Amino acid sequence: MKKFFALLLVLCLAFAGLISYIAYVPMPIADEAELESAPAYEGETAGEAPAAEDAAPSYRGLDYEAILALHNDEEIIGTVDGRDVTWREYFYWFYMQANQIDGMAITYGIDPDWSEMATEDMNLSQLVLENAAYMVRQMDAIEKHAAENGIELNEADMEAIAQQIESEKTQLLGEGATDEAFNAKLKELHMSREMYEKVLHTNALIDRGFEELYGENGEKADEAAVVSYLADQGYMSAHHILIMSIDPATGMKLEDSAIEEKRAQAEALAEELQAIEDDAERLARFNELKAELCDDTGKAAYPDGYTYTPGTMYPEFEEACLAQEAYQVSDVVETGVGFHVIMTLPLDADALVFSASGSPSTARVLFAEADYNEALSRSIDSVEFEYAEGFEEFYLGDFENVK
């Protein structure tokens, strides 16, 4: 799955959003002694709860129907590069943003403060409206980028979209659901069928654009551009042979005598490799010794070495890697897990990039995803949203439901 900032659109995006900010000041919690000694409410006997009508109001979300009624569905409330944007289109993206905050607030019993500053120049209410406009711009920008690069959906893409529609129809309404029922369900989510299908097409354009420009796995990415990206991001690459000085099962240090034997073994390996003058021959021998002697369990996933950013490895490891030229072999480097013999490698467009939390990715894919995201971001920045004359910004705090 491509890691685009994109729309991340599933099931109509009903509960997705760009912001998760909620202004919240928790109330102090009294301990049991304080609760037992606390005076009863005035007019109540000890132990009785206050009447329901006297309880503090609780937040129940925004009154979306009241907000929707601010304008007619087809009223033009803005333009994107000259294209008219209706209130219904804008409202869906607004709803998507605000509903996420509502859901969190209701779940956690929080009364969101819409006047709280969410950025230096926008409060939370304004930020929701700004994000709605951003989403309108994003949709147009992705279509614009696709058109400029000659990207179109093919028959397989259209078939996949049709299958997705049927799948989501079944997930929402069960087997045998009709289009009429599905459209009614979309309307409950403040989404028209036209908008729903546009969202699916736009999302498909993102994937199609990536494959057309970079290949499914980044294989079309320019090798020099990938290497330059790695260098700019501070990536390093290295082989190493690790001789552990700890018990891998317990993490406990070995006996001193065993540690010295391990050190001597590592020093012998370094000496042998450093004595080989030819880079290719040294690399081949390094690989043989690594396969035979290296205690690093990661060697199976990264057989050709690690490509990583600063701060990923032990500091001593990284310092040794940076201190030598490609294919040079270090003296023994000691870390908390043992003794390393390190060969610095040149950055490689086809290298596997180290991932501490997931499956490794190739450098080509890493570059392609970053480059594509940047291109789409530039396209979004080039698209302007302008509110229509007379459109008034509304404050979400005026539309809260409480009980």
Residue 25 has pLDDT above 60, yes or no: no
Q: CB–CB of 99/6 below 8 Å?
A: no
Residue 23 has pLDDT above 50, yes or no: no
Residue 52 has pLDDT above 60, yes or no: no
3-class SS of residue 126: helix
pLDDT at 40: 34
Rounded to whole angstroms, how far apart are CA atoms 140 and 296?
49
pLDDT in tens, 340-374: 999 999 999 999 999 877 778 999 999 999 999 99
What is the DSSP secondary-structure string of 280-345? HHHHHHHHHHHHHH---GGGTT-TT-EEE-TTSS-HHHHHHHHTS-TT-BPPPEEETTEEEEEEE-
**Which residues sit opposite 239 in a β-bridge?**
343
pLDDT in tens, 261-270: 999 999 999 9
Of the candidates 296, 312, 318, 293, the one whose C-alpha atom is nearest the C-alpha of residue 353 is: 312
> CATH 3.10.50.40: which residues of the chain?
236-346
pLDDT at 106: 86
pLDDT in tens, 53-91: 454 557 888 999 999 999 999 999 999 999 999 999 999
Provide the b/e sequence for 3-18 (b: ≥16 CB within 10 Å).
Answer: ebebbebeebbbeebb
Residue 320 has pLDDT above 80, yes or no: yes
Provide the b/e sequence for 130-145 (b: ≥16 CB within 10 Å).
Answer: bbbbbbbbbbbbbbbb
Residues 236, 307, 376, 100, Cα dihedral to 10°: -110
pLDDT at 262: 97
| pLDDT band per the 50, 70, 90 thresholds, residue 109 | confident
Q: What share of the chain is helix, strand, coil (3-state, %, to 5)?
A: 50, 10, 40
pLDDT at 69: 96
Distances (CA, A) of 392 to 41, 77, 79, 91: 45, 9, 15, 14
Beta strands in 9-128 (DSSP E): 59-62, 76-80, 83-86
Average pLDDT over residues 172-188: 93
**Residue carrying the six token digits 């028209």:** 192
Residue 398 has pLDDT above 90, yes or no: yes
pLDDT at 403: 62
pLDDT in tens, 112-127: 899 999 999 999 999 9
* Architecture of the domain delimited by 236-346: Roll (3.10)
Record the pTM.
Answer: 0.79
pLDDT in tens, 234-254: 999 999 999 999 998 999 999
Rounded to whole angstroms, how far apart are CA atoms 89 and 98?
15
The alpha helices in 109-222, defined as continuous H runs, are 124-148, 155-173, 179-188, 193-214
**Residue carrying the six token digits 């000691």:** 334
